[in-house]
A = this chain, B = another copy of it.
Amino acid sequence: MNYQKIPDETIKRMPMYLRAFSILKTENQDTISSSQLAERLHLNPPQIRKDLSYFGAFGTRGVGYPVASTADQIRGILKLDVPQKAVLVGAGRLGAAIAEYPGFALFDLNIAAIFDNDPSKIGTKIGTNIVEDIEKIDTIKACDIHLAILAVPADTAQSVVDGLADCHIKGILNLSACYLAVPKSIKVVTIDLAMELGTLPYYMM
């Protein structure tokens, strides 16, 4: 196997490519060139070619990339060729919004369970799930769930993560404004809305 380290930045762009190819498929376009795709995504053609070439030669010279099969390839690379289940922790306003967010469907990402520690929320229904008690988090061990979404206050996030670490969770999307200590077998992506908004004034003239 011709092993080569694939840049993290390339991995970050792969879902973007997958979405683009999926949309092209619905538009019945058979092939697309790197320059056409670059225009859609506001990227440079060589970057797209380089990114895709890390995983093999998907395109045809003189023609472009075949839409359907390249989409399948990317899905396989990202392990999105099988439906992935995620557990959502935190059924507050933000959690509820995420539970019903339609954007996950394109990647076959499904919220399979919801937990909270607020007795007034436990038992209520959000979307197709019933909110369960966070104390019973280890029931997910039996459910083949390896992804978690964290939408809890910053001061309880770490204790939730400690619980998740015992439940075969391997990836966490953290929406709390805090820094999580995790075993290095778990990959964490943190999105901090306030931080992102807080950088914007700097760029204003």
Is A194 close to B, CB under 8 A? Answer: yes
Chain B neighbourhood of A193, CB < 8 A: 98, 101, 103-104, 173, 191
Alpha-carbon distance between A173 and B177 when the two chains are bound, in angstroms = 17
Contact A15 B203 (CB under 8 A): no
Within 8 A of B (CB), among A94-151: 94, 96-98, 100-101, 103-104, 106-107, 109, 146-147, 149
Is A35 close to B, CB under 8 A? Answer: no
Contact A104 B200 (CB under 8 A): no
Contact A201 B94 (CB under 8 A): no
- Sorting the interface of chain A by its residue count into under 10, 10 to 19, 20 to 34 or 35 or more gives 35 or more
Contact B18 A198 (CB under 8 A): yes
Interface readout for A64-80 with B: 1 if CB under 8 Å, 0 if not?
00000000000001111
Chain B neighbourhood of A185, CB < 8 A: 205
Is A41 close to B, CB under 8 A? Answer: yes
Alpha-carbon distance between A80 and B196 when the two chains are bound, in angstroms = 13
Contact A197 B107 (CB under 8 A): yes
Is A170 close to B, CB under 8 A? Answer: yes
28 A–B pairs (Cβ distance < 8 Å), ordered by A:
A12-B195, A14-B198, A14-B199, A14-B202, A15-B194, A16-B192, A19-B195, A42-B179, A78-B199, A78-B202, A80-B198, A80-B201, A84-B201, A93-B100, A94-B98, A97-B97, A101-B194, A103-B177, A103-B192, A104-B193, A109-B198, A147-B197, A170-B203, A172-B200, A173-B197, A187-B203, A189-B199, A189-B200
